[in-house]
Chains A and B, each alone.
Chain A
Amino acid sequence: DGGITQSPKYLFRKEGQNVTLSCEQNLNHDAMYWYRQDPGQGLRLIYYSQIVNDFQKGDIAEGYSVSREKKESFPLTVTSAQKNPTAFYLCAAKSRDSEQFFGPGTRLTVL
């Protein structure tokens, strides 16, 4: 049963702390993505990776970092430099011949 796993579903963080959101896929897709969704703002691209060991900044990369050491994993770190981190974070994956397939999301709340 192929898909994308994002964990945890809900995450709380104290202001000033870094936090890492997990994204794992068993679809064997080459490309992976991180988006952020805020009310009324749609899906904004944070980072994406089209192959292992390579990634590109999206439209709102400031305050975030990623790594792509394995094809199936694309973790996102929200650093203390991100000024407004409370949001719903979505991970997606895509192969050459497919559309982007999304995970269930992680809601991050900064207390």
Chain B
Amino acid sequence: DQQVKQNSPSLSVQEGRISILNCDYTNSMFDYFLWYKKYPAEGPTFLISISSIKDKNEDGRFTVFLNKSAKHLSLHIVPSQPGDSAVYFCAATPRASGTYKYIFGTGTRLKVLA
């Protein structure tokens, strides 16, 4: 039973346009959500996070939106750059429970075309 789902395995976007990556979750106990970026043969790097008390968090070109009623979050990258080409993982955790455990989605491979 996959608690965190990324239903689009891949996405291609033109340079300069917006990239929108989506993530759905099923566990109502999740209260903290993260996005990681991963290049081949490297470890993931943290990108941006959002707490369930917010519906938006912005950091430069990256914005994460959270819709709790729909159990859905999305990552917007504007404008997209070729260096953004990577696999993006969303993750969720029930932080209020005291656990340090994350549940990761299966990832979306973003390709930004020059």
Using a CB–CB cutoff of 8 Å, the interface residues on chain A facing chain B are 4, 6, 30-31, 35, 40-45, 48, 50, 58, 88, 90, 92, 94, 99-105, 107
Give the secondary structure class of A's interface: strand
Give the interface size bracket for B toward A. 20 to 34
A13 to B53, CA, bound (A): 47
A30 to B102, CA, bound (A): 15
Nearest CB of A to B71, in Å: 18
B104 within 8 Å of A by Cβ?
yes
B79 CB contacts on chain A under 8 angstroms: none
Using a CB–CB cutoff of 8 Å, the interface residues on chain B facing chain A are 6, 9, 34, 36, 41-46, 49, 89, 91, 100-102, 104-107
**16 pairs, A vs B, C-beta closer than 8 Å:** A30-B100, A41-B106, A42-B89, A43-B89, A44-B104, A48-B100, A48-B101, A50-B100, A99-B46, A99-B49, A100-B91, A100-B100, A100-B102, A103-B43, A104-B43, A105-B43
A58 CB contacts on chain B under 8 angstroms: 101
B49 CB contacts on chain A under 8 angstroms: 99
Tally the A-B contacts, defined by beta carbons under 8 Å: 48
Asked if B106 and A40 sit within 8 Å, CB to CB, the answer is: yes
> Nearest B residue to A104 by beta-carbon distance?
B43
Asked if A107 and B41 sit within 8 Å, CB to CB, the answer is: yes
A14 to B14, CA, bound (A): 44
Q: A40-B9, A48-B101, A50-B100 are in contact. Are A102 and B44 (CB under 8 A)?
A: yes
B6 CB contacts on chain A under 8 angstroms: 42
Contact partner, B43, options A31, A40, A102, Cβ 8 Å: A102
A88 CB contacts on chain B under 8 angstroms: 41
Q: A48-B100, A48-B101, A100-B46 are in contact. Are A42 and B106 (CB under 8 A)?
A: yes
Nearest CB of B to A108, in Å: 13
A95 to B91, CA, bound (A): 17
